[in-house]
Amino acid sequence: MSTLSEMRAGLAANLATVSGLRTSSYIPDNLTPPIAIVAPDTITFDQTFGRGQDRYTFSVEVVVGRVVDRASQSLMDTYCDPSGSKSIKVAIESDPSLGGKVFDCRVTEVRGYQQIVIADVVYLSVVFSIDVLTN
């Protein structure tokens, strides 16, 4: 069974296939957008009998430049698209086994398309939910 760190690294590696998108498998001290940040959300143990499959839900927060810029919103739209070269869904599901570390992973939803403020700077942010099933 893979570790939480291995799953985070696998998701970040899949996200790194999106040209121009920085990735982090941990919450960084400083942001340099555009960036995708992988963090665990929930863990449900024993999905099958006898310590079988576990289910992990990860949040991938994508942060892009200032929200007042139409270009930032257009870029975020491409990340939210279900297809295309900048699609987060396509990138995550490009290797659903995360390098053979898990049984499957898939993007289940996009939520929270909004502006956020960090250190007095306004950014645009969206969160993707990723469902991961262990071996």
Q: What is the CA radius of gyration of the chain?
A: 15
Q: What is the pLDDT of residues 82-109, one digit of tens each?
A: 999 999 999 999 999 999 999 999 999 9
Q: Supply the CATH number for residue 63's domain.
A: 3.30.2000.10
Q: How far apart are CA 88 and CA 64, in angstroms?
A: 13
- Side-chain half-sphere exposure of 20, counting CA atoms within 13 A: 11
Model pTM score: 0.92
Domain range enclosing 30: 4-133
Q: What is the pLDDT of residues 41-76, one digit of tens each?
A: 999 887 666 667 899 999 999 999 976 678 899 999
The residue among 117 and 110 whose pLDDT is bigger is: 110
Q: How far apart are CA 108 and CA 128, in angstroms?
A: 8
Structural domain count, the chain: 1
* Amino acid identity, position 98: L
